[in-house]
């Protein structure tokens, strides 16, 4: 179909992970992002540079977790269980970067990245990406790795501040420790394949279920409460209305109502996932974006569940998939976009 052709034409080096650190937005090329993790329990060696938040065992290796706040002169703040870590693959090393949260994963036109309006000497900024009045600093991963390498030996000492930034309440400590143990168990004997756009899925929550869809179909993420929804008369109740994004009107679908016949409970975490399609502009309301995961096609169908939990009228719209004893509902975007009931006449 035309939708598949259009999606597969996306070049990998155009996909960027957008994150928030403090009040600023930064973007990292997806080819260098191995994995996106929620914060886990970290360890602290006797000596480490001021910008290292801790160390972590990842796939049999000990890697540094970097807090760029110290480098960017951003005021430090305590982490919480919603803090995220980007696991990065450089030319020579693997390391992690602490971010407040992942705000977007999307294709951008790299030709319009403007040079930074300041000297880039001893800097790892590739340029500034401007979009709808919002500026994002695009990071040059090669320069960042070179900077980290040159700074490792500059009088490393015990970073007392680092350990104090982790959550200290008992419940959060238990959560971080459990995540660490799960990460170690998950990555034992797993060789790195990288975050390739094909076979990479974004997972998200709707009610008590975890859904996922291929990243190639994702055109952007938008906070629901920050959008203005135009109501449409005489439409199915799972259609919330239209929103305007970059001059285009997008039909907003309440996926929980669409699949489970229950309206979503809208919160400040409710997110619209804009779907890339040549012929049909649509966005899905989800409760909260979670993480990324790799699913190979043969693995998807090998671990396919029996579909007894599905309420969708069209059973082909979802594949029930089990990974690490957890059930994921994988959206078949082609089937969903082919359903005539989505079209507003």
Distance CA 296, CA 293 (A): 10
Token pair 């680092």 in the structure block, residue = 162
| Angstrom distance (rounded) from CA 211 to CA 273 | 12
Contact 33, 17 (CB under 8 A): yes
- Long-range CB contacts (within 8 A, 24+) of 313-318: 314/339, 318/259
- Mean pLDDT of the chain, nearest integer: 78
Report which of residues 147 and 151 the model is more confident about: 147
More confidently predicted of 292 and 88: 88
Q: What phi and psi, each to the nearest 5 degrees, are found at residue 181?
A: -65, -40
Burial of 234 (0-12, 13-18, 19+ CB in 10 A): exposed
What mean pLDDT comes out for the span 174-196?
65
H-helix or E-strand spanning residue 70: helix 68-72
User: What SS3 string covers 119-164?
Assistant: CCCCCCEEEEEEECCEEEEEECHHHHHHHHHHHCCCCCECCHHHHH
Which uninterrupted H or E stretch holds 58?
strand 52-58
Write out the two tokens for 3: 């939708």
Highest mean pLDDT among 36-40, 57-61, 315-319: 36-40
Residue 25 structure tokens? 């937005």
pLDDT tens by residue, 95-141: 999 999 888 887 777 788 888 766 655 578 888 898 777 889 898 88
Please state the rounded mean pLDDT for residues 14-29: 87
- What is the 8-class DSSP label of residue 255? H
Strand 61-66, strand 52-58: pairing: antiparallel
Contact status, residue 47 vs residue 153, Cβ threshold 8 Å: no
Q: Looking at the predicted structure, is the pLDDT value of residue 246 above 60?
A: yes
Which residues are CB-contacts of 286 (< 8 A; sequence separation ≥ 6)?
Answer: 204, 205, 206, 211, 255, 264, 270, 271, 272, 273
DSSP, res 279: S
Q: What is the dihedral of CA 126, 128, 131, 136, to 10 degrees?
A: 80
Q: How many whole angstroms separate alpha carbon 144 and alpha carbon 121?
A: 12
Beta strands 15-21 and 101-107 are antiparallel
pLDDT tier, 50 (very low <50, low <70, confident <90, very high otherwise): confident
Give the mean model confidence (pLDDT) for residues 16-34.
87
> Does residue 266 register a pLDDT over 80?
yes
Whether 214 has a pLDDT exceeding 60, the answer reads: yes
> What average pLDDT does the segment 189-205 reach?
61
DSSP string over 286-297: ESEEEEEEE--H
Round to whole Å and give the CA distance between 222 and 229: 12
pLDDT of 12 > 50? The answer is no
Question: Rounded CA gap, 67 and 71, in Å?
Answer: 8
What own/partner pairs with CB < 8 Å and gap ≥ 24 does 261-269 have? 261/311, 262/207, 263/237, 264/206, 264/207, 266/224, 266/225, 268/223, 268/225
Closest CA to 21 of 96, 91, 88, 77: 77
């Amino acid at each position: 179909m035309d939708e598949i052709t259009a999606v597969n034409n996306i070049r990998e080096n155009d996909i960027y992970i957008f994150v928030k650190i403090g009040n600023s937005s930064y973007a990292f090329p997806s080819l260098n992002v191995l994995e996106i993790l929620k914060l886990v329990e970290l360890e602290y060696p006797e000596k480490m540079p001021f910008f290292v938040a801790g160390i972590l065992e990842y796939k049999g290796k000990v890697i540094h977790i970097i807090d760029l706040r110290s480098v960017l002169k951003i005021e430090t703040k305590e982490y919480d269980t919603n803090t995220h870590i980007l696991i990065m693959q450089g030319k020579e090393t693997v390391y992690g970067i602490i971010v407040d949260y992942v705000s977007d994963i999307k294709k951008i036109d790299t030709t319009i990245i403007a040079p930074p309006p300041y000297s880039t000497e001893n800097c790892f900024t590739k340029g500034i990406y401007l979009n709808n009045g919002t500026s994002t600093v695009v990071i040059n991963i090669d320069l960042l790795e070179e900077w980290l390498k040159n700074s490792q030996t500059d009088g490393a000492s015990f970073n007392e501040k680092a350990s104090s930034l982790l959550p200290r309440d008992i419940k959060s400590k238990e959560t971080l420790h459990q995540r660490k143990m799960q990460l170690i168990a998950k990555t034992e004997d797993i060789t790195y394949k990288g975050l390739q756009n094909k076979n990479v899925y974004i997972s998200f929550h709707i009610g008590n279920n975890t859904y996922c869809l291929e990243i190639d179909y994702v055109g952007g993420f938008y906070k629901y409460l920050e959008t203005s929804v135009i109501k449409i008369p005489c439409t199915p109740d799972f259609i919330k209305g239209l929103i305007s994004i970059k001059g285009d009107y997008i039909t907003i679908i309440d996926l929980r109502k669409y699949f489970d016949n229950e309206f979503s409970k809208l919160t400040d975490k409710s997110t619209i996932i804009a779907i890339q399609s040549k012929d049909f502009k649509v966005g899905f309301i989800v409760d909260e974006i979670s993480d990324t995961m790799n699913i190979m096609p043969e693995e998807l169908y090998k671990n396919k569940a029996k579909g007894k939990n599905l309420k969708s009228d069209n059973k082909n719209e979802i594949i029930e998939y089990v990974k690490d004893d957890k059930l994921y509902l994988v959206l078949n975007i082609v089937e969903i976009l082919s359903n005539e009931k989505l079209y507003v006449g």
